[in-house]
Amino acid sequence: MSQTENRNGSGDLFAEPGDERVDAAYLSNGADWDQIVQAQRESNDETIVVNVGPQHPSTHGVMRLVMELDGETVLSVRPSIGFLHTGIEKNMEYRSWTQGSAFATRCNYVAGIFNEGAYSLAVERLLGITDDMPRRASQLRVLMMEANRIASHLTGVGAGGLELGATSVQEVCLRERERVLDFTEAVTGLRMNNAYIRPGGVQNDLPDDGLDLLDELLRQLKKNLPEIGQFTLQNPIFKNRMQNVAHMDLSQCMMLNASGPVLRATGYPWDLRKTQPYCGYENYEFEVCTATSMDAYGRWVIRLNEMDQSVRILEQVRDELAASKGEPYRIEDAELRWPSELTVASDGQGNSNEHVKHIMGESMEGLIHHFKIVSQGFHVPAGQAYVPVEAPAGELGFHLVSDGGTRPYRAHLRDPGFNHVQSVPIMSEGGMLSDAIMGIASLDPVMGGVDR
């Protein structure tokens, strides 16, 4: 038996005896490890099978990689996922439409605002209230999404730098990310898992000093973000480690439904904020960042440039929020509007005395309405909707199915990381082990969104 044939002679080293399938199909729960090792031993190849992860810093989460190596050369790699599966989609079927936002934000926890946005937009499409959204609600959504985009890119860029031993890059990125999270906490009450964007609007308006906090954040970002480029793009060692690594062309991106910086690194200017605008993005001036290198370096450059474009959008949103001060930030329909007149504390909870009096001490009808909408929720007409948004990693969308009740019949998240993880073999096989690690870093996967 040749080195390229398995026990069936089919060319699949890891196929089971008697398996007549043409395409390779593998288990993802790790139960096939013994068979993999045994097959490798029987092949008499001078190769080794290495199990990277699932608890390994280079996998950016609990992801397992089964690699076959010939020295430092990667012959094959198999991503194994599911270690962070928490059944979020199923849990959403047992919660009201508004409560689903708190579950959605915990999928991709690094960019949770985008999960909330896609979910809420899908619910609003089912309700038919997309055009009724107050403009201030859309402005606040854009504000928090672009701030979250910067925080997410800082996380990905910093983690990628750490893979190369560039601890200074990680320190600078975390420093700036803290500024963004401090602003997020001031507005929403939480640093992460905010549940700020909800069907019908947002949780609360800006605090009294919200615009001042935004001005200070923008001042710091415009001053300090160029420092990251100096640490990376002007570093010849860094560039040599990133250029011509993890190559992936346009046809391969199309085959795997890749999106975001991975797709735009091929020169294809696909950005849902431009091609399929939502939340009023058509009213903002910004550029779609692209590259033509089709490698890890191109994806890195795109993320750095996108942070600059997000700052540009935030400056425009700041002016619009100043002009719309005092306008409603939720839909006017009381049958759909979640009661959220809250005094937000550091833990995101708390009720003002005036709000308690309003819902419990003024009328029996008001108390009944509050009880019903909180405990039961509102009915959504039967149907289905899929709404995508442009998340930091690519197209993130929610597909919701309603049977006319107060809970989703089915909820499904389309996370870009799920598609991008499948591209690891394409980018890694034939290259060096160290380059494979950089390829994973250039994808910036978040396993909470991949596994859900």
pLDDT digits (tens, 9 = 90+) for 197-225: 888 888 888 988 889 999 999 999 999 98
Q: Is residue 269 part of a domain?
A: yes
- Span 234-265, pLDDT tens digits: 788 888 888 888 888 898 889 888 998 999 99
Mean per-residue pLDDT, 408-425 = 90
Output the six-digit token pair for 158: 């910093």
Q: Is residue 367 part of a domain?
A: no
pLDDT at 335 (0 to 100): 76
Q: Is residue 442 part of a domain?
A: yes
Distance between CA atoms of residues 122 and 408, nearest Å = 11
Q: Is residue 433 part of a domain?
A: yes
| In contact, 377 and 94? CB cutoff 8 Å | no
The region of weakest confidence among 10-24, 271-285, 368-382 is 10-24
Whole-model pTM: value is 0.84
Q: Is residue 21 part of a domain?
A: no
189 φ/ψ sector (left φ>0, alpha ψ -120 to 50, else beta): left
Q: Is residue 100 part of a domain?
A: yes
For residue 412, give the 3-state DSSP assignment: strand
pLDDT at 115 (0 to 100): 92
- Residue 43 pLDDT greater than 70, yes or no: no
177 φ/ψ sector (left φ>0, alpha ψ -120 to 50, else beta): alpha
- Span 269-297, pLDDT tens digits: 999 999 999 999 999 999 999 988 888 88
Mean per-residue pLDDT, 392-416 = 91
- Residue 376 pLDDT greater than 70, yes or no: yes
Output the six-digit token pair for 168: 């200074």
Domain encompassing residue 170: 89-336+378-451
- The CATH number of residue 156's host domain is 1.10.645.10
| In contact, 96 and 336? CB cutoff 8 Å | no
For residue 273, give the 3-state DSSP assignment: helix
Buried b or exposed e, range 261-273, using 16+ CB within 10 angstroms: bbbbbbebebbbb
The region of weakest confidence among 130-139, 276-285, 330-339, 340-349 is 340-349
The region of weakest confidence among 43-57, 73-87, 410-424 is 43-57
Q: Is residue 40 part of a domain?
A: no
Q: Is residue 11 part of a domain?
A: no
pLDDT at 3 (0 to 100): 42
Q: Domain tally for the chain?
A: 1
**Banded pLDDT at 2 (limits 50, 70, 90):** very low
Please state, for a pLDDT cut of 70, what percent of the chain lies above it: 84
**Banded pLDDT at 70 (limits 50, 70, 90):** confident
Higher pLDDT, 325 or 344: 325
- Residue 360 pLDDT greater than 80, yes or no: no
- Residue 395 pLDDT greater than 60, yes or no: yes
Mean per-residue pLDDT, 152-165 = 85
